[in-house]
A and B are shown apart, each in its own frame.
Chain A
Amino acid sequence: MPIPKTAWVLAVVLTALTVARADRIFLTDGRVLTGQATVGPTEVRIDTAYGTIRFPRHMVERVEAVDTPQQQLSQRLTENDRNDPNALYVVARWADAQGLAEEAQQLYREVLALDSHHAQAREALGYLRVEGQWVELETGLALLRARLAGGALSEADPTVEPWLAELTRLARQPSQRLAVRELRALWLVRQGKLPAAGAALAELAREAQGLPAFRLATLAGIITENSDGMYVLTEPYPPQASLLGAEPGRAYPPGPAPLTEPIVLQAALRDRARGVLEQARAHIGAGQAVERTDRPGADEAYRQALASLDRADALVPEIARSYRIEVIRRQVALLRRDVEAQAALFDAEMATLGKQELSPQAYTYKLGRMVRYLSTARETLDRILGLSGPFTRELVLEIRWAELDRQRIDAMLTTLRQELHELR
C-alpha cells in the first residue's frame, strides 16, 4: 500500500529530528526491520547493526519511530527495584541480549555490589569458582598454571578437568583460548598421556605465532623426544638451589627422572634454553670478531644474537638478561662510534667557521650541514637511550653519557637554528 504523502513528510521530519532514535520499518511484504531509517525521495535506507539496506519507496509501507534499546533499558531500570539483585540481574540479561554489552557488564557489577555471591552475575562477568573463591579468568589461568608447574596437582586430581572446562567456556580472546589449551596439554603431560600431549602442543605451535609458537614447539619437541616419559637431568634443578642454601631435598638431583613431574619438564625446558643461549653466544662472538672490519656484519650478528636471546627468554623468562646487556653494551659502543663520526664532521666544519670568507648562501649551507651532523648524532643518541632504557641499573654510564651528550647537542642545535632563522 502506498504511503500517504503527509506521512512521508512526517517521516522525513521525524527522521531528521530523531537521528539517534531507532525506527521500525514495515515493508509491504510483511517484514519489519529495526534500525535508523533515512527516508529519501525514491528510497528508504535503514542502517542496522548488521549493515545498511535500501528499499525502493514502493516496498515500504510505513516507518515508525521506536525507543532505542538504551531508552528501553532506562525504562526497565525505572520499573524494577534497583536494590533487588535478582531483578537487576534480569535487566542485565535483557541488556546483554539486546547487544548492550557495556551496560550489561555495568549492571552485573551492580548486582555483585548488592550480592557478591550472585553466581549468575559472576559467571556473566567471566568469573570462575576455584576452591570456593570467585576469580577472574586470568587469575584462574594463572592459578592452574602455578599449581601445575609447582607439582601441586597429582595426576588423578579430580579438580583439574572441571577447572579446565570452566576456563575453556569462559575464554573468549584467542590468546586466552591458546593459554587454556596449553594448560590442557600440560595436564596431559602430568597424566602421562605424552603422545596426546605432544600432538596437542605441536598443533598449538602451528596455530600460535612468534615466540609463543617457538615455546610450544620446543615443549612438543621435548615430549616427542622423550615419549617414554623419562628425561635425564644432568645437574641438580633448580641450578641455584644448592648455592642459595636450600634444604637438602629441595633441589631435584641429577639422573633419570619422570617427565610427568612438572619440575622435570621445567628442567628440560631450561636445558633447551641453555642451548639457545649457546647460539646467542656464538652470534655475539661473531659480531665481536668483525666489529672493526665489517660493521653491517657485526650489526647483523648482534641482531641475530638478540633474536636468540628472545627465544631463550621465551623458554625461561629472564634467563638471557646478562647476555642481552652484553649485546646492548656492544651495540651502544658501535653507536657511539657513529656519534663520534658525526661529531668529527661537525668539528671539522666548526674549525673553519669564521676563518673562511663565505657568501651568505655558503654560510647558510655550512650551518645546515652542521645542523644535519648534530641531528644525526642526536638520533643515534636517542637510539642508545632506547636500547639502554630497560637496563637503567646496569647501563648507568651508557645512559648518563648519552643524556649529557644529547643536552649539549640540543644546546648547540638551538644556537645554530637561531642563527639560520636570523639569516633567513
Chain B
Amino acid sequence: MSCARPIRRPLAAAMALGLLLGTLPRASAGVPGESAYQAPHALPLLTAVRYFRAGQYAQAVTEAEWLLSGRLVPCQPRALLVLAASREAQGRYGEAREAYSQALALCTDPRLQQYVLEQMAQCDRGGPSRQQPAPPSAQLSAQRRADLARLEDAEAIETGSHFTVRSRNAELSRLVLEHAEGALIRVSQLILGQTEYPHSVEILIHATPADFAAASGDAGHSTGRFELIGQAGGYFRRVIHLTQLDAGGTFDAAMLDRVLPHELSHLVLTEFFGDAPCPLYLQEGLAMLAEYGEPTGRILLAGAAVATGQALPLEYLLTREACQADESALFYAQSRSLLSYLRDSMTQDQFHALLGQLRDGHPLGDALHRALAMPYDATLLARLETAWQAQAIAQAQILTALKEADGQAL
C-alpha cells in the first residue's frame, strides 16, 4: 500500500481549476499541498478563496467545509468567512449568517468584526439590494382613506418610543405613529448609520392647509414643516407639522409617503450638523432621498437637463445657499439625483463618513477623499460630475423605456 498522501477530491478539483485559471500556486516540490505556504491549511484555504473569487461558490463551499471538518485545523474563522461569503453569494442568507456568526465568535480583529457584523446585517436584509420599500399609502384602501379623512371632535394622542402624535383622528394618530417609527429607521440608517436617534419628537397633524399655515407660520405651498425650538435649560422641543387633508378635503396620502420622512430627514440632519452650516443640496437631496417611492418626475427632469446641456453644474449646485424660483425644480431634482448617486456608489460606512466630513466643514472633494481614504486626485470632482451625469441620463432613459413599455403617458 502506498504511503503517499491521498489527494482529496476538492483539492484535486482545485488543482484542475488552478490549471484552468493558471492561478493555482505551484507546489514547491511537486507534491500537492506542500507548497511554500506557511500553515498546512494555507493552500486549501487559498484554493477556496480562489474558487470564491472565480464565482464558483459551490466548490468554494466544499473546500471551506473540508477545512472546517477539522482534518487540518480544528476550526478556523477564516475558513468560516470564505464559507459565509460563498453562501451569501449563493443567496443562502440564513446559512451565510450562521457562518458569519460563528466567525464573529472567533474573530479578534476589530476591522474584521465590523465587516462581519455588516455582512450579517446584509444577510438579515436578504442581500445587498437597496430596493425601495413600498410607500405606506399603497396599503390604504379607498375606505381607509375615507376614514382617515374624518375629523373627530377630540384630539387623539398616540405615544411611541420616539414620537407623540396629535391629530383629530384616532386612527390617523395610530397610523402616523407606526409609520413615523419606520420612517425614523430609514432616515437614521441614511444619516446616522448605526447610531440611534435619541430624541423625542412631537408630530402635530393639522386638519387643513389653512390650519397648517396658521399653526406653523408657513404660508407657502408646503404641507409639512419641522421646528427645533430652544427651551430654557438648554433643552429643545422637536416638532413636525403635517397636514391631514388636501385642498379638496380628501386624505393627503403624501403626508405618509413624502412629507413625514422628508421633514424627519431635515430634523435629523439639522441635529447631526449642530451649529455647522449644512449645504442646501445636502439638506434637500437627503430629505428627498428619505421619501418613499421613486420620484419619476425628478429623475426625468434631471436626466433631460443633463442630456440637453441645461443641467446646473456641480460646482454651482454645491455652493448654492438658496435657489432661484425659476431653477428650484431643477435644483431639487439634481440634488436628489446627486445624493442618490453618491449613496448608491458608496458603502454605508463610506456614505456616513462622507456626511461626517461634510459636517466638519470639508468641501465635497476633500470629504470624498477622506471618506473613501483614496489618494489625492485633482480631477475627482470633474470625474464624479461626468459619471453622475451619465448615470442621470441612463436612469431617465430606463424610466422612459419602462413607461413606454407600460403604455403610460410621460
Name A's B-contacting residues (CB within 8 A): 154-156, 191-196, 227-230, 232, 234-236, 238-240, 242-245, 254-258, 260, 270-271, 273-274, 277, 316-319, 321-323, 325
Cross-interface CB contact of A318 among B35, B37, B53, B376, cutoff 8 Å: B376
Q: Are B373's CB and A270's CB within 8 A?
A: yes
Q: Are A260's CB and B387's CB within 8 A?
A: no
With contact pairs A243-B346, A243-B384, A316-B375 given, residues A230 and B362 touching in the complex (Cβ less than 8 Å): no
User: Looking at chain B, what size class is its interface with the partner chain?
Assistant: 35 or more
- Chain A hits for B372, CB < 8 A: 239-240, 243
Inter-chain CA distance A286–B114, complex, in Å, is 26
Give the number of A-B contacts (CB < 8 Å). Answer: 134
Q: Are A258's CB and B46's CB within 8 A?
A: yes
Inter-chain CA distance A249–B251, complex, in Å, is 47
Inter-chain CA distance A321–B25, complex, in Å, is 38
**B320 CB, nearest partner CB in chain A, Å:** 22
With contact pairs A227-B42, A318-B376 given, residues A196 and B36 touching in the complex (Cβ less than 8 Å): yes
Q: Are B82's CB and A236's CB within 8 A?
A: no
Q: Are A321's CB and B38's CB within 8 A?
A: no
Q: Are A240's CB and B377's CB within 8 A?
A: yes
- Chain B hits for A319, CB < 8 A: 373-376
- Chain B hits for A156, CB < 8 A: 22, 26
- Chain A hits for B52, CB < 8 A: 255-256
Inter-chain CA distance A277–B371, complex, in Å, is 11
**B386 CB, nearest partner CB in chain A, Å:** 7
A-B contact pairs, 17 of them (CB 8 A): A194-B38, A227-B37, A228-B38, A230-B45, A230-B46, A230-B78, A234-B111, A235-B349, A240-B368, A242-B345, A243-B384, A243-B387, A244-B383, A244-B387, A271-B111, A277-B373, A323-B370
Inter-chain CA distance A140–B167, complex, in Å, is 76
Inter-chain CA distance A273–B39, complex, in Å, is 27
Contacts A232-B81, A239-B373 given; 9 further ones with Cβ under 8 A?
Answer: A156-B22, A194-B42, A195-B36, A228-B42, A232-B112, A242-B345, A256-B52, A258-B23, A323-B370
A259, closest chain B residue (CB): B46
With contact pairs A245-B391, A273-B373, A322-B376 given, residues A232 and B25 touching in the complex (Cβ less than 8 Å): no
- Chain A hits for B194, CB < 8 A: none
Inter-chain CA distance A239–B346, complex, in Å, is 8
- Chain A hits for B368, CB < 8 A: 240, 243
Inter-chain CA distance A70–B49, complex, in Å, is 65
**A230 CB, nearest partner CB in chain B, Å:** 5
Inter-chain CA distance A277–B353, complex, in Å, is 14
User: Is B185 on the interface with A (CB-CB < 8 A)?
Assistant: no
Inter-chain CA distance A277–B374, complex, in Å, is 11
- Chain B hits for A270, CB < 8 A: 373
**A80 CB, nearest partner CB in chain B, Å:** 52
Inter-chain CA distance A351–B8, complex, in Å, is 93
B44, closest chain A residue (CB): A228
Q: Are B53's CB and A258's CB within 8 A?
A: yes
A242, closest chain B residue (CB): B345
User: Is B7 on the interface with A (CB-CB < 8 A)?
Assistant: no
Cross-interface CB contact of B347 among A191, A196, A236, A245, cutoff 8 Å: A236
B residues 322-379 in Cβ contact with A at 8 Å:
342, 345-347, 349-350, 362, 366, 368-370, 372-377
User: Is B115 on the interface with A (CB-CB < 8 A)?
Assistant: yes
Q: Are B46's CB and A192's CB within 8 A?
A: yes
Cross-interface CB contact of B384 among A196, A244, A258, A325, cutoff 8 Å: A244
B78, closest chain A residue (CB): A230
From DSSP, what is the main secondary structure of chain B's interface residues?
helix
Cross-interface CB contact of B25 among A192, A227, A317, cutoff 8 Å: A192
**A6 CB, nearest partner CB in chain B, Å:** 77
A226, closest chain B residue (CB): B78
- Chain B hits for A322, CB < 8 A: 362, 366, 369-370, 376
User: Is B41 on the interface with A (CB-CB < 8 A)?
Assistant: yes
- Chain A hits for B50, CB < 8 A: 258
Inter-chain CA distance A322–B378, complex, in Å, is 11
Q: Are A230's CB and B82's CB within 8 A?
A: yes
A228, closest chain B residue (CB): B42
A281, closest chain B residue (CB): B370
- Chain A hits for B48, CB < 8 A: 256
B111, closest chain A residue (CB): A234
User: Is B288 on the interface with A (CB-CB < 8 A)?
Assistant: no
Q: Are B374's CB and A239's CB within 8 A?
A: yes
B372, closest chain A residue (CB): A239
Q: What mask results when residues 105 to 130 of chain B are scored 1 for a CB within 8 Å of chain A, else 0?
A: 00000011011001000000000000
6 closest pairs, A vs B, by CB?
A245-B387, A192-B25, A321-B376, A239-B372, A193-B36, A234-B115
Inter-chain CA distance A257–B346, complex, in Å, is 20
**A244 CB, nearest partner CB in chain B, Å:** 5
Inter-chain CA distance A227–B38, complex, in Å, is 6
- Chain A hits for B398, CB < 8 A: none
A313, closest chain B residue (CB): B375
B28, closest chain A residue (CB): A193
Inter-chain CA distance A244–B345, complex, in Å, is 8
User: Is B85 on the interface with A (CB-CB < 8 A)?
Assistant: yes
Q: Are B82's CB and A317's CB within 8 A?
A: no
A243, closest chain B residue (CB): B345
**B93 CB, nearest partner CB in chain A, Å:** 15
- Chain A hits for B89, CB < 8 A: 255
- Chain A hits for B111, CB < 8 A: 234, 271
**A160 CB, nearest partner CB in chain B, Å:** 14
User: Is B401 on the interface with A (CB-CB < 8 A)?
Assistant: no
Q: Are A235's CB and B347's CB within 8 A?
A: yes
User: Is B390 on the interface with A (CB-CB < 8 A)?
Assistant: yes
User: Is B134 on the interface with A (CB-CB < 8 A)?
Assistant: no
A271, closest chain B residue (CB): B111
With contact pairs A192-B35, A192-B37, A271-B111 given, residues A239 and B387 touching in the complex (Cβ less than 8 Å): no
- Chain B hits for A234, CB < 8 A: 111-112, 114-115, 118
**A138 CB, nearest partner CB in chain B, Å:** 22
Q: Are B374's CB and A230's CB within 8 A?
A: no
Inter-chain CA distance A236–B39, complex, in Å, is 28
Inter-chain CA distance A50–B53, complex, in Å, is 62
B residues 188-210 in Cβ contact with A at 8 Å:
none
- Chain B hits for A236, CB < 8 A: 347
- Chain B hits for A257, CB < 8 A: 49, 53
Inter-chain CA distance A239–B366, complex, in Å, is 15
Inter-chain CA distance A79–B20, complex, in Å, is 63
Inter-chain CA distance A318–B377, complex, in Å, is 9
User: Is B16 on the interface with A (CB-CB < 8 A)?
Assistant: no
Q: Are A256's CB and B81's CB within 8 A?
A: yes
A239, closest chain B residue (CB): B372
Q: Are B37's CB and A194's CB within 8 A?
A: yes
- Chain B hits for A260, CB < 8 A: 25, 46
User: Is B13 on the interface with A (CB-CB < 8 A)?
Assistant: no
Q: Are A229's CB and B376's CB within 8 A?
A: no
Q: Are A256's CB and B384's CB within 8 A?
A: no
Inter-chain CA distance A115–B211, complex, in Å, is 94
User: Is B380 on the interface with A (CB-CB < 8 A)?
Assistant: yes
Inter-chain CA distance A209–B352, complex, in Å, is 38
Q: Are B347's CB and A228's CB within 8 A?
A: no
| A243, A244, A271, A277: most-surrounded residue (chain B CB, <10 A) | A243
Inter-chain CA distance A155–B46, complex, in Å, is 14
Q: Are B349's CB and A317's CB within 8 A?
A: no
- Chain A hits for B375, CB < 8 A: 316-319
- Chain B hits for A230, CB < 8 A: 45-46, 49, 78, 82
